Amino acid sequence: MIDKPTAGALRLPKSEGAPLHPFLQAMMASFTAAGRPNLSDGSPADARALVAAGRAALGPVPEIGSVRDIVISTRGGSIAARLITPTGKAAGLVVYVHGGGWLAGTLDDYEICARRLAVTSGCTVLLPDYRLAPENPFPNGLEDCEDALLFASTHRAELGCDVGPLIACGDSAGANLVTVGLRRLGGEVACALQVLIYPVTDCDFETKSYQEHGTGLPLTRRDMIWFFDHYAPPAEHSRDEISPLRARDLSSQPPAVVVTAQYDVLLEEGRAYAQRLSQAGVPVAYREAAGLTHGFVRLHNLIADADAELVAIGTAIATACAAK
């Protein structure tokens, strides 16, 4: 269970001591035996193909009310998006921005997560297909996500969800785009809750979690440096629009749920960002997924503990919707 976001001193539970989940141990061993490359071992196209190739092993997609593809007008032209509607009346509208290092990930790759989130939260989920680096480097993908949030906030009736609040959710680089986009939008979008799942918040590749979990796991230190370099020139990595942990003022941010994974290079910066939000007066709830790695939300059909985390996230969103 995820606590309701609250202001004041933030409780930061730690999952130290929990072993890596047996499924993940076996998965990484099989990758090693098969000589599976890391995401950063080839080209961006190779990384996208690796993500897509894993889709078939993720299990069945959850049953849902309806799914339809739409088009969102943006300042860069237009982007595709997928609208996933739960069975019954939606409690709210979630804009879910997928991960993939700003470089990989498609609607088909992340529909399984969006469907499960719709089931667990009771909300309609809008999944934008934002532009990817390096073909479209910073700030193109960020602007697409901002425009998707603006679209969602102004087209509620068209999306069949004119009741209930707007929630912004993202994982990894998608969580980065969500929290940066919300800060840049300021008061233009009324967002009741931001849900940041193992978010990218800084360009410091020397943290304790980078040192402890930088090799032998689904996301490596080398992968993250490679992602950053494809997203923006190194001289820009420390900008607070890329590394939001470095922002001077986070007080305008909406209430947040921050979820990290124990075996993840991004663990320390996710914890630090939750702390920074809390210190800025933003209500925050923090959860650390014991025994799990970066990317666990896509494994909810395969690991009961991963599904439990996604259920907890959905419940937190449903609670935020019920409060409005």
pLDDT of 215-238, one tens digit each?
999 999 999 999 999 999 999 999
243 is catalytic: no
Selected catalytic residue, list 213, 230, 294, 300:
294
Selected catalytic residue, list 21, 144, 147, 172:
172
CB 283 within 8 A of CB 254: no
CB 87 within 8 A of CB 105: no
Class of domain 22-322: alpha beta
264 is catalytic: yes
Q: What is the pLDDT of residue 91?
A: 96
d(CA 288, CA 321): 23
d(CA 30, CA 270): 29
Q: What is the pLDDT of residue 1?
A: 75
As separate numbers, helices (DSSP H) first and strands (DSSP E) second, the chain gives 9, 8
Q: What is the pLDDT of residue 239?
A: 98
Q: What is the pLDDT of residue 46?
A: 98
CB 205 within 8 A of CB 216: no
Name the region of 77 (left: φ>0; alpha: ψ -120 to 50; beta: rest): left
Per-residue model confidence as pLDDT tens digits over 167-177: 999 999 999 99
The answer on pLDDT for 9 being more than 80 is: no
202 is catalytic: no
d(CA 267, CA 256): 16
Selected catalytic residue, list 21, 144, 264, 278:
264
Domain ranges of the chain: 22-322
In the predicted model, what is the mean pLDDT of residues 32-38? 96
In the predicted model, what is the mean pLDDT of residues 126-141? 98
Among residues 71, 73, 91, the alpha carbon closest in space to that of 83 is found at: 71
Quote the tokens at residue 1: 């269970």
d(CA 22, CA 293): 12
Average pLDDT taken over every residue of the chain: 96
In the predicted model, what is the mean pLDDT of residues 247-268? 98
